[in-house]
Structure 1
Amino acid sequence: MGEIGGAYFSERFLQFVSEVDDWQEAIRLAAQPLLEEKIIENSYIDAMIQNVLDMGDYIILVPKVAMPHARPEAGTLDNGVSILKLEKPVQFKQGEEVFLILCLATKDNSHHLRLLQKVSAIIDEEEKVEKLLHLRNKTAFLTLVNQYIQEEEEE
Protein backbone atom coordinates (compact mmCIF):
# COMPACT_ATOMS: atom_id res chain seq x y z
CA MET A 1 0.00 0.00 0.00
CA GLY A 2 1.17 3.53 -0.72
CA GLU A 3 1.96 6.24 1.76
CA ILE A 4 -0.45 8.79 0.28
CA GLY A 5 -3.70 9.42 2.14
CA GLY A 6 -5.78 8.46 -0.88
CA ALA A 7 -4.07 5.08 -1.14
CA TYR A 8 -5.14 4.15 2.37
CA PHE A 9 -8.67 5.39 1.96
CA SER A 10 -9.98 3.77 -1.18
CA GLU A 11 -13.51 2.58 -1.91
CA ARG A 12 -12.66 -1.08 -1.50
CA PHE A 13 -11.85 -0.36 2.17
CA LEU A 14 -15.07 1.57 2.78
CA GLN A 15 -18.43 0.02 3.66
CA PHE A 16 -21.77 1.71 4.27
CA VAL A 17 -24.16 -0.53 6.24
CA SER A 18 -27.52 0.34 7.78
CA GLU A 19 -27.04 -1.60 11.04
CA VAL A 20 -25.31 -4.50 12.78
CA ASP A 21 -26.38 -6.74 15.67
CA ASP A 22 -23.58 -5.92 18.10
CA TRP A 23 -20.12 -4.37 18.45
CA GLN A 24 -18.34 -7.68 17.77
CA GLU A 25 -20.12 -7.96 14.42
CA ALA A 26 -19.24 -4.32 13.72
CA ILE A 27 -15.53 -5.02 14.25
CA ARG A 28 -15.65 -8.22 12.14
CA LEU A 29 -17.45 -6.42 9.32
CA ALA A 30 -15.18 -3.37 9.48
CA ALA A 31 -12.11 -5.63 9.24
CA GLN A 32 -13.44 -7.73 6.34
CA PRO A 33 -11.81 -5.69 3.51
CA LEU A 34 -8.43 -5.91 5.27
CA LEU A 35 -8.87 -9.67 5.56
CA GLU A 36 -9.89 -10.02 1.90
CA GLU A 37 -6.90 -7.95 0.75
CA LYS A 38 -4.58 -10.11 2.91
CA ILE A 39 -3.54 -7.16 5.09
CA ILE A 40 -4.60 -9.04 8.23
CA GLU A 41 -5.30 -12.63 9.25
CA ASN A 42 -8.41 -13.84 11.12
CA SER A 43 -6.37 -13.94 14.34
CA TYR A 44 -6.06 -10.14 14.17
CA ILE A 45 -9.86 -9.72 14.21
CA ASP A 46 -10.11 -12.02 17.24
CA ALA A 47 -7.37 -10.01 18.97
CA MET A 48 -9.19 -6.70 18.34
CA ILE A 49 -12.37 -8.11 19.88
CA GLN A 50 -10.44 -9.59 22.80
CA ASN A 51 -8.82 -6.19 23.46
CA VAL A 52 -12.26 -4.63 23.94
CA LEU A 53 -13.35 -7.50 26.18
CA ASP A 54 -10.19 -7.13 28.27
CA MET A 55 -9.80 -3.34 28.33
CA GLY A 56 -13.25 -1.92 27.67
CA ASP A 57 -14.27 0.80 25.25
CA TYR A 58 -10.83 2.43 25.00
CA ILE A 59 -11.14 2.17 21.20
CA ILE A 60 -13.80 4.90 21.20
CA LEU A 61 -11.47 7.80 20.49
CA VAL A 62 -14.07 10.54 20.11
CA PRO A 63 -17.87 10.45 20.37
CA LYS A 64 -19.45 8.20 17.70
CA VAL A 65 -16.09 6.86 16.46
CA ALA A 66 -14.25 3.65 17.36
CA MET A 67 -10.85 2.51 16.15
CA PRO A 68 -10.29 -1.17 16.87
CA HIS A 69 -6.71 -2.40 16.52
CA ALA A 70 -4.33 -4.98 17.95
CA ARG A 71 -0.60 -5.60 18.11
CA PRO A 72 1.11 -6.40 14.78
CA GLU A 73 2.13 -9.87 15.98
CA ALA A 74 -1.59 -10.72 16.36
CA GLY A 75 -1.76 -11.17 12.59
CA THR A 76 -0.84 -8.08 10.58
CA LEU A 77 0.63 -8.77 7.14
CA ASP A 78 0.64 -5.20 5.77
CA ASN A 79 -0.51 -1.65 6.63
CA GLY A 80 -4.05 -0.48 6.08
CA VAL A 81 -7.24 1.11 7.33
CA SER A 82 -10.79 0.08 6.57
CA ILE A 83 -13.87 2.12 7.42
CA LEU A 84 -17.38 0.99 8.31
CA LYS A 85 -20.10 3.65 8.45
CA LEU A 86 -23.38 2.69 10.09
CA GLU A 87 -26.73 4.43 9.68
CA LYS A 88 -27.93 3.15 13.04
CA PRO A 89 -25.38 3.21 15.86
CA VAL A 90 -23.99 0.10 17.51
CA GLN A 91 -23.61 0.10 21.29
CA PHE A 92 -20.30 -0.82 22.81
CA LYS A 93 -19.81 -2.44 26.22
CA GLN A 94 -20.23 0.72 28.29
CA GLY A 95 -23.24 1.87 26.28
CA GLU A 96 -21.50 4.35 23.99
CA GLU A 97 -23.06 4.61 20.55
CA VAL A 98 -20.76 4.35 17.54
CA PHE A 99 -21.52 5.15 13.89
CA LEU A 100 -18.02 5.06 12.42
CA ILE A 101 -15.52 2.23 12.85
CA LEU A 102 -11.98 2.65 11.55
CA CYS A 103 -10.10 -0.61 11.63
CA LEU A 104 -6.36 -0.05 11.84
CA ALA A 105 -3.65 -2.56 10.92
CA THR A 106 0.06 -1.74 10.94
CA LYS A 107 3.24 -3.80 10.74
CA ASP A 108 5.37 -1.55 12.96
CA ASN A 109 5.42 1.57 15.13
CA SER A 110 6.45 4.07 12.44
CA HIS A 111 3.57 3.03 10.17
CA HIS A 112 1.26 2.99 13.19
CA LEU A 113 2.09 6.62 14.01
CA ARG A 114 1.75 7.77 10.39
CA LEU A 115 -1.64 6.10 10.02
CA LEU A 116 -2.79 7.48 13.38
CA GLN A 117 -1.93 10.99 12.15
CA LYS A 118 -4.12 10.45 9.08
CA VAL A 119 -6.96 9.05 11.17
CA SER A 120 -6.78 11.89 13.68
CA ALA A 121 -6.99 14.41 10.83
CA ILE A 122 -10.36 12.88 9.96
CA ILE A 123 -11.87 12.73 13.44
CA ASP A 124 -10.15 15.44 15.50
CA GLU A 125 -13.17 17.75 15.37
CA GLU A 126 -16.80 16.86 16.09
CA GLU A 127 -17.86 18.94 13.10
CA LYS A 128 -15.74 16.80 10.74
CA VAL A 129 -17.27 13.59 12.09
CA GLU A 130 -20.81 14.99 11.74
CA LYS A 131 -20.19 15.95 8.11
CA LEU A 132 -18.91 12.46 7.31
CA LEU A 133 -21.84 10.78 9.07
CA HIS A 134 -24.34 12.72 6.96
CA LEU A 135 -22.83 11.63 3.63
CA ARG A 136 -24.64 8.86 1.77
CA ASN A 137 -22.24 8.63 -1.16
CA LYS A 138 -18.93 6.77 -0.94
CA THR A 139 -17.13 9.02 -3.41
CA ALA A 140 -18.16 12.15 -1.52
CA PHE A 141 -17.15 10.49 1.77
CA LEU A 142 -13.65 9.62 0.48
CA THR A 143 -13.21 13.05 -1.10
CA LEU A 144 -13.92 14.67 2.27
CA VAL A 145 -11.66 12.22 4.14
CA ASN A 146 -8.78 12.96 1.80
CA GLN A 147 -9.48 16.71 2.01
CA TYR A 148 -9.22 16.55 5.82
CA ILE A 149 -5.89 14.69 5.58
CA GLN A 150 -4.51 17.12 3.00
CA GLU A 151 -5.51 20.15 5.10
CA GLU A 152 -3.77 18.64 8.13
CA GLU A 153 -0.59 17.90 6.18
CA GLU A 154 -0.44 21.45 4.79
CA GLU A 155 -0.54 23.10 8.23
Structure 2
Amino acid sequence: MVFVKLIEKVEDYKEAIRISCCILEENGIVGRSYYKAILNNIKEYGGYFYLGKGICMPHARAEAGALKAGICVLSLKHPVLFYGKEVWVFLTLSAGDEEEHLRNLQKIVQICRDDERVKEIKEAKNDEELSALIGG
Protein backbone atom coordinates (compact mmCIF):
# COMPACT_ATOMS: atom_id res chain seq x y z
CA MET A 1 0.00 0.00 0.00
CA VAL A 2 1.11 3.54 -0.70
CA PHE A 3 0.21 6.50 1.50
CA VAL A 4 1.03 10.09 0.58
CA LYS A 5 1.24 13.30 2.55
CA LEU A 6 2.31 16.77 1.49
CA ILE A 7 3.59 18.96 4.31
CA GLU A 8 4.71 22.57 4.22
CA LYS A 9 7.74 22.06 6.48
CA VAL A 10 9.14 20.09 9.38
CA GLU A 11 11.78 20.89 11.98
CA ASP A 12 14.29 18.26 10.79
CA TYR A 13 14.64 14.88 9.09
CA LYS A 14 13.73 13.05 12.32
CA GLU A 15 10.35 14.77 12.38
CA ALA A 16 9.76 13.87 8.73
CA ILE A 17 10.56 10.23 9.42
CA ARG A 18 8.41 10.26 12.57
CA ILE A 19 5.42 11.62 10.66
CA SER A 20 5.79 9.04 7.89
CA CYS A 21 6.15 6.21 10.42
CA CYS A 22 3.05 7.44 12.27
CA ILE A 23 1.07 7.31 9.02
CA LEU A 24 2.28 3.76 8.41
CA GLU A 25 1.54 2.79 12.01
CA GLU A 26 -1.99 4.26 11.88
CA ASN A 27 -2.65 2.09 8.83
CA GLY A 28 -1.33 -1.13 10.38
CA ILE A 29 1.77 -1.29 8.18
CA VAL A 30 4.40 -0.97 10.95
CA GLY A 31 4.50 -1.30 14.70
CA ARG A 32 5.44 1.37 17.18
CA SER A 33 9.09 0.24 17.30
CA TYR A 34 9.73 0.89 13.61
CA TYR A 35 10.55 4.61 13.95
CA LYS A 36 13.11 3.96 16.67
CA ALA A 37 14.66 1.18 14.57
CA ILE A 38 15.13 3.60 11.66
CA LEU A 39 16.79 6.14 13.97
CA ASN A 40 19.05 3.39 15.32
CA ASN A 41 20.03 2.49 11.74
CA ILE A 42 20.91 6.12 11.04
CA LYS A 43 22.96 6.29 14.22
CA GLU A 44 24.80 3.08 13.35
CA TYR A 45 25.19 3.40 9.56
CA GLY A 46 24.79 7.10 8.79
CA GLY A 47 22.89 8.48 5.82
CA TYR A 48 23.03 5.34 3.68
CA PHE A 49 19.44 5.62 2.47
CA TYR A 50 19.86 8.96 0.72
CA LEU A 51 19.05 8.09 -2.92
CA GLY A 52 20.01 11.38 -4.56
CA LYS A 53 17.80 14.04 -6.19
CA GLY A 54 16.52 15.12 -2.77
CA ILE A 55 15.04 11.72 -1.96
CA CYS A 56 15.56 9.51 1.10
CA MET A 57 14.25 5.99 1.66
CA PRO A 58 14.13 5.44 5.43
CA HIS A 59 13.61 1.83 6.40
CA ALA A 60 14.51 -0.81 8.93
CA ARG A 61 14.65 -4.59 8.93
CA ALA A 62 11.30 -6.36 8.78
CA GLU A 63 11.78 -7.84 12.24
CA ALA A 64 12.14 -4.29 13.65
CA GLY A 65 8.40 -3.71 13.39
CA ALA A 66 7.37 -4.08 9.76
CA LEU A 67 3.96 -5.77 9.71
CA LYS A 68 3.06 -5.43 6.03
CA ALA A 69 4.64 -4.08 2.87
CA GLY A 70 3.99 -0.39 2.34
CA ILE A 71 5.37 3.03 1.55
CA CYS A 72 4.64 6.43 3.00
CA VAL A 73 5.59 9.20 0.59
CA LEU A 74 6.11 12.38 2.56
CA SER A 75 6.82 15.40 0.38
CA LEU A 76 8.04 18.65 1.90
CA LYS A 77 7.57 22.11 0.43
CA HIS A 78 10.74 23.18 2.26
CA PRO A 79 13.60 20.66 2.33
CA VAL A 80 15.45 19.53 5.44
CA LEU A 81 19.10 18.57 5.72
CA PHE A 82 20.02 14.92 6.01
CA TYR A 83 23.74 14.32 6.26
CA GLY A 84 24.47 17.56 4.43
CA LYS A 85 21.97 16.88 1.61
CA GLU A 86 18.70 18.71 1.05
CA VAL A 87 15.79 16.27 1.18
CA TRP A 88 12.35 17.07 -0.20
CA VAL A 89 10.86 13.59 -0.36
CA PHE A 90 10.90 10.78 2.19
CA LEU A 91 9.87 7.36 0.87
CA THR A 92 9.55 5.47 4.15
CA LEU A 93 9.51 1.80 3.25
CA SER A 94 8.21 -1.21 5.15
CA ALA A 95 8.88 -4.75 4.02
CA GLY A 96 6.34 -7.46 4.63
CA ASP A 97 4.74 -9.41 1.84
CA GLU A 98 7.70 -10.09 -0.44
CA GLU A 99 5.81 -9.65 -3.71
CA GLU A 100 4.32 -6.30 -2.70
CA HIS A 101 7.68 -5.22 -1.26
CA LEU A 102 9.34 -5.87 -4.64
CA ARG A 103 6.60 -3.87 -6.41
CA ASN A 104 7.20 -1.01 -3.99
CA LEU A 105 10.94 -1.10 -4.66
CA GLN A 106 10.26 -1.06 -8.41
CA LYS A 107 8.01 1.97 -7.92
CA ILE A 108 10.79 3.76 -6.03
CA VAL A 109 13.33 2.95 -8.76
CA GLN A 110 10.95 4.26 -11.45
CA ILE A 111 10.43 7.48 -9.53
CA CYS A 112 14.15 8.06 -8.93
CA ARG A 113 15.07 7.46 -12.59
CA ASP A 114 12.57 10.03 -13.89
CA ASP A 115 13.95 13.55 -13.33
CA GLU A 116 10.75 15.19 -14.59
CA ARG A 117 8.60 13.12 -12.26
CA VAL A 118 10.84 13.96 -9.29
CA LYS A 119 10.47 17.65 -10.17
CA GLU A 120 6.68 17.30 -10.40
CA ILE A 121 6.56 15.49 -7.04
CA LYS A 122 8.51 18.33 -5.43
CA GLU A 123 6.07 20.83 -6.97
CA ALA A 124 2.84 18.96 -6.12
CA LYS A 125 0.25 21.28 -4.59
CA ASN A 126 -1.83 18.77 -2.57
CA ASP A 127 -2.10 15.12 -1.50
CA GLU A 128 -4.28 14.19 -4.49
CA GLU A 129 -1.77 15.55 -7.00
CA LEU A 130 1.06 13.84 -5.14
CA SER A 131 -0.85 10.53 -5.12
CA ALA A 132 -1.44 10.74 -8.88
CA LEU A 133 2.28 11.33 -9.48
CA ILE A 134 3.29 8.43 -7.25
CA GLY A 135 0.75 6.07 -8.69
CA GLY A 136 -0.73 5.28 -5.29
TM-score by length of 1: 0.80
1:113 corresponds in structure 2 to 102
Q: How is 1:39-118 mapped onto 2 (pairs within 5 angstroms)?
A: 39-92=29-82, 94-107=83-96, 109-118=98-107
2:115 paired with 1:126: yes
| Deviation (angstroms), 1:86 | 0.6
Partner of 1:37: 27
Shift of the alpha carbon at 1:108?
A: 5.2
Give the structure with the higher percent helix.
1
Where do 5+ consecutive residues of structure 1 fail to align? 1-7, 150-155
Q: Which has the higher strand share?
A: 2
Q: State the aligned residue count.
A: 136
TM-score, length-normalised on structure 2? 0.91
Structure with more relative contact order (C-alpha pairs < 8 Å, separation 6 or more): 2
Query: Which amino acid is the alignment partner of residue 77 of structure 2?
Result: E
- Aligned CA RMSD, in angstroms, stands at 1.6
Matched position secondary structure for 1:100 = strand
Residues 27-80 of structure 1 deviation map (CA, whole Å, 9 limit, x = unaligned): 101111111112111211111111112111111112200010011000111111
Partner Cα separation in structure 1 for residue 43 and residue 116 of structure 2: 30
Match of 2:126 in 1: 137
Deviations 1:9-31 (A, max 9, x none): 3xxx2111111111111110111
Confirm or deny: 8 A CA contact 2:21 2:34 kept in the other structure: no
- Give per-residue Cα distances to partners, 1:86-139, cap 9 Å, x unaligned: 1111111x2111010011001255443221001111222222211111110222
Percent of residue pairs bearing the same amino acid type: 36
Secondary structure at the residue paired with 1:42?
Answer: coil
Query: Which runs of no fewer than 5 residues in structure 2 stay unpaired?
Result: none
- Cα distance in 1 between the residues matched to 2:106 and 2:54: 19
* In 1, Cα distance between equivalents of 2:97 and 2:41: 18
Residue equivalent to 2:7: 17
Bigger Rg, structure 1 or 2: 1
Cα distance in 2, alignment partners of residues 100 and 73 from structure 1: 25
